[in-house]
Amino acid sequence: MIHSLQLGSLTLPTNVICAPLAGCTNLTWRRMLKRYKPGLMFCEMVKMEALIRADPNTYRILDYDNDMHPIGAQICGSNIDIAAQSAQLIEEMGFDVLDLNCGCPVDKVTKDGSGSGLLQHPEKIGEILHRMVQAVDIPVTVKIRAGWDECEINAPTIVQIAEQAGASAIAIHGRTRTQGYKGQANLDWIKACKEKASSIKVYGNGDIFDPESAARMFQETGCDAILLARGTLGKPWIIEDITRALSGLPPIQRTSDDYREILLSHLDDIESYHNDRKSLIEMRKIGCWYLKKSSGTKALREALNKASSVSSARSVIESYDWEQTSFHTEEALACC
Ligand SMILES: Cc1cc2nc3c(=O)[nH]c(=O)nc-3n(C[C@H](O)[C@H](O)[C@H](O)COP(=O)(O)O)c2cc1C
């Protein structure tokens, strides 16, 4: 199941890919992901218009380290006339892959026909992709949901449109736009997409949280690659766990010390990249991710939420009694 993946002239080392997650996959988070060797990872999505007007916050979202290659950027927009220029800007920044977002369900994004709004106009997806493919040498890919709603599962048609437009791969999130994140990702829909694909690579996406669900995605859909999203939050080693398990290698036990170590190094990184105010917000966010499914961490979570600086958060983590913690329980403790 695990193998390298060819996207145009680019060879990804593995077919375990980390999805874009707005508000999550920033530079410091990607540094943690990178440790566990994803085949490809993405920055958070950026708007085409913001790229073109050189919005500094947008460019900051696209920060990456030289050792993060292969790295992908995802752009969101529905204006055909600026598709080529946006694509060129991404290529000039040194990205290895350019992805078009056709899955974002948020009203703010769909109201101008962007994100999953494009699912209602598949021919427009084809036109935007075509312009991008013509404008750049890097592989162009697209990420979609299964359709707008259950009455209109048009992902298999979009697979063919994307292939014709010259896209190298298409990621299918097995939910509709109206579903949001409710219910389970439907693997039959992803399978139907793979059956329509001829040369375009198909990534299966949705509810991959462990090696078992990763294997199910490969086996039940025949997909070429898997795309991990929420499963990586607070558990970046899921990339390595899945890669090893599906390559027949024994699992690595993750201990409380691993959580302690990654929290501390993530904090160091946050502090060196963000200002004090943003560091505090980020620290609370990542603390919540790492400690979400744990026991014996209530006092730690409370102390982190109350910490008034990253250095006080670091002291709390360093002096905490990690012996009493456990990260192997399925009990989900709501902390945020
Ligand atoms: C907080 C959050 C932010 C997301 N941001 C993006 C994004 O920027 N671009 C995108 O294509 N999908 C985005 N997604 C969708 C995910 O990439 C993925 O398709 C979805 O979460 C299903 O996969 P999962 O069940 O493995 O999480 C986001 C999802 C979440 C929960």
250, 178, 174, 249: which is closest to 213 by C-alpha? 174
Q: Active site residue: 18, 43, 102, 104, which one?
A: 104
205 lines ligand 1 (CB under 6 A): yes
pLDDT for residue 164: 98
User: Are 272 and 146 within one domain?
Assistant: no
User: Are 277 and 147 within one domain?
Assistant: no
User: Are 310 and 268 within one domain?
Assistant: yes
- How many angstroms separate the CA atoms of 278 and 169, rounded? 35
144 lines ligand 1 (CB under 6 A): no
For 277, the token pair is: 């105010």
**In angstroms, what is the span from residue 312 Cα to ligand 1's centroid?**
32
**In angstroms, what is the span from residue 104 Cα to ligand 1's centroid?**
8
Residue 294 belongs to what domain range? 256-324
Query: Does a structural domain hold residue 331?
Result: no
pLDDT for residue 332: 37
For 54, the token pair is: 């050189």
**In angstroms, what is the span from residue 24 Cα to ligand 1's centroid?**
10
234 lines ligand 1 (CB under 6 A): no
**In angstroms, what is the span from residue 43 Cα to ligand 1's centroid?**
12
User: Are 33 and 109 within one domain?
Assistant: yes
User: Are 191 and 287 within one domain?
Assistant: no
CATH code of 214's domain: 3.20.20.70
Mutate to test the pocket of ligand 1, among 26, 230, 238 (most ligand atoms within 8 A of CB): 230
Query: Does a structural domain hold residue 205?
Result: yes
204 lines ligand 1 (CB under 6 A): no
**In angstroms, what is the span from residue 42 Cα to ligand 1's centroid?**
11
173 lines ligand 1 (CB under 6 A): yes
Last residue of a domain, one of 221, 245, 269: 245
User: Are 111 and 220 within one domain?
Assistant: yes
Phi and psi dihedrals of 222, rounded to 5?
Answer: 75, 15
pTM exceeds 0.85 = yes
Query: Does a structural domain hold residue 329?
Result: no
Contacts of 80 (CB under 8 A, 6+ apart): 124, 127, 128, 131
103 lines ligand 1 (CB under 6 A): yes
Q: Is 100 helix (H, G, I), strand (E, B) or coil?
A: strand
Is residue 104 among the annotated active site residues? yes
Mutate to test the pocket of ligand 1, among 173, 203, 239, 292 (most ligand atoms within 8 A of CB): 173
Is it true that the peptide bond before 70 is cis, omega within 30 degrees of 0? Answer: yes
Last residue of a domain, one of 245, 264, 297: 245
74 lines ligand 1 (CB under 6 A): yes
Task: Look at the chain and report how many structural domains it folds into.
Answer: 2
Q: Which atom of ligand 1 is nearest to the CA of 45?
A: 8
- How many angstroms separate the CA atoms of 44 and 39, rounded? 17
User: Are 237 and 304 within one domain?
Assistant: no
Last residue of a domain, one of 245, 272, 299: 245
Q: Which atom of ligand 1 is nearest to the CA of 74?
A: 9
User: Are 78 and 211 within one domain?
Assistant: yes
pLDDT for residue 310: 87
Q: At which residue do the structure tokens 């084809």 appear? A: 126
pLDDT in tens, the chain (336 residues): 999 999 999 999 999 999 999 999 999 999 999 999 999 999 999 999 999 999 999 999 999 999 999 999 999 999 999 999 999 999 999 999 999 999 999 999 999 999 999 999 999 999 999 999 999 999 999 999 999 999 999 999 999 999 999 999 999 999 999 999 999 999 999 999 999 999 999 999 999 999 999 999 999 999 999 999 999 999 999 999 999 999 999 999 999 999 999 999 999 999 999 998 899 999 999 988 999 888 899 888 998 889 888 888 899 999 998 988 998 644 333 333
pLDDT for residue 235: 93
Query: Rounded to a whole number, what is the largest CA-CA distance in the chain?
Result: 58
Ligand 1: which residue has its CA nearest to atom 6? 21
23 lines ligand 1 (CB under 6 A): yes
145, 142, 206: which is closest to 177 by C-alpha? 145
User: Are 262 and 236 within one domain?
Assistant: no
